[in-house]
Each structure stands twice: as structure tokens, then as C-alpha cells.
């Protein structure tokens, strides 16, 4: 059963077949699908679901804070349902594969005032870059 779905129900999210399918497709760890991949998988379970609905739904999940948008070097954004466990990303520079990694014991110091340029700092995102074992072999 989908954790994400549970949480959404709990928040009184209006439920439809399409939204359920999107939430189900997204659920899990190390899941970082593009909108198009979400649509492709959703179609497997609900053939008539449209891309527009997938985009709408993803946008809403991001607004609700239940899904994170991951911007990569590539064109399409990826969506990460693992929003409630703080984590960072390890990205393969060659193929774009992404893994979740969890903050090391090292609490990242917050930015010193002298480096804030008057900004209010709300968070930090850490992305490690490297080559995945698959690409290293090939």
C-alpha cells in the first residue's frame, strides 16, 4: 500500500482514479521519475489518463510538499516522493541515474551572515556527482 496515498487521504485530498494511480506510481525509495515516465507507468494501470492530468497532479503534489522536484542537468525534471525523510542525491553524470543518500553525521553549517546577501535561508540541497557502476563498466 502506498504511504504517499495514505498521507494524501489524511489531508483530505479529493481522490480520483487518476490521482490514485499517480500517487501509486510515485511511491517508494530511490524513485525519481520524469513526468513522462510517470505518465507511461500510469497508462499501464489506467489507459485513458492524460499527460495534462499527470502534470497537474505532479504540480499539486509539489505544492502540497508531498513530492519534491529534482532539477537535473537534463531537460526533464524528476519527481521524488521521498519528501518526508531529509536526504540528498547522488547523480550519475553519464546516464543521469539518481540515488537517495542520507546526510552524513556532518550537520552542514548554515551559511554565515556575511554570505547571505540579505537572503533568508530556508534550506540546503546537496547533490553529489559521479559515475554509477553501470556506466563505469561500459
Q: If you write DSSP's letter for every residue of 51-118 in order, what string do you get?
A: HHHHHHHHHHHHHHTSSEEE--SSSS-EEE--TTS--EEEEETTT--EEEE---S--PPPPPGGGSTT
Nearest to 93 by CA among 59, 128, 40, 131: 131
Determine, following the binding rule CB under 8 A, whether residue 17 of this chain makes contact with a copy of itself: no
Determine, following the binding rule CB under 7 A, whether residue 77 of this chain makes contact with DNA: yes
Q: Which of 5, 23, 53, 91 binds DNA (CB under 7 A)?
A: 53
C-alpha neighbours within 13 Å on the C-beta side of residue 31:
20
* Interacting partner of 14 out of DNA, a copy of itself, none (Cβ under 5 to 8 A depending on kind): DNA
Determine, following the binding rule CB under 7 A, whether residue 50 of this chain makes contact with DNA: yes
2 φ/ψ sector (left φ>0, alpha ψ -120 to 50, else beta): beta
92 is in an annotated binding site: yes
Confirm if 3 and 23 have CB atoms less than 8 A apart.
no
Nearest approach in angstroms of CB 59 to DNA is 6
Nearest approach in angstroms of CB 65 to a copy of itself is 13
Determine, following the binding rule CB under 8 A, whether residue 131 of this chain makes contact with a copy of itself: yes
User: Which of the residues 74 through 113 are near a copy of itself (CB under 8 A)?
Assistant: 77, 90, 92-93, 99, 101-102, 104-106, 108-109, 111-112
- The residues binding a copy of itself (CB under 8 A) are 69, 71-73, 77, 90, 92-93, 99, 101-102, 104-106, 108-109, 111-112, 115-133, 136
Amino acid at each position: 500500500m502506498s504511504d504517499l496515498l495514505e498521507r494524501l487521504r489524511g489531508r483530505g485530498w479529493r481522490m480520483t482514479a487518476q490521482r490514485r494511480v499517480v500517487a501509486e506510481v510515485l511511491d517508494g525509495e530511490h524513485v525519481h521519475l520524469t513526468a513522462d515516465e510517470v505518465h507511461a507507468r500510469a497508462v499501464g494501470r489506467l489507459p485513458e489518463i492524460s499527460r495534462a492530468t499527470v502534470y497537474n497532479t505532479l504540480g499539486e503534489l509539489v505544492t502540497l510538499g508531498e513530492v519534491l522536484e529534482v532539477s537535473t542537468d537534463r531537460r526533464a525534471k524528476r519527481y521524488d516522493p521521498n519528501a518526508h525523510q531529509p536526504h540528498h542525491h547522488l547523480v550519475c553524470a553519464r546516464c543521469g541515474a539518481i540515488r537517495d543518500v542520507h546526510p552524513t553525521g556532518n550537520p552542514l553549517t548554515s551559511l554565515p551572515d556575511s554570505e547571505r546577501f540579505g537572503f533568508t535561508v530556508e534550506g540546503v540541497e546537496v547533490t553529489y556527482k559521479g559515475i554509477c557502476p553501470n556506466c563505469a563498466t561500459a
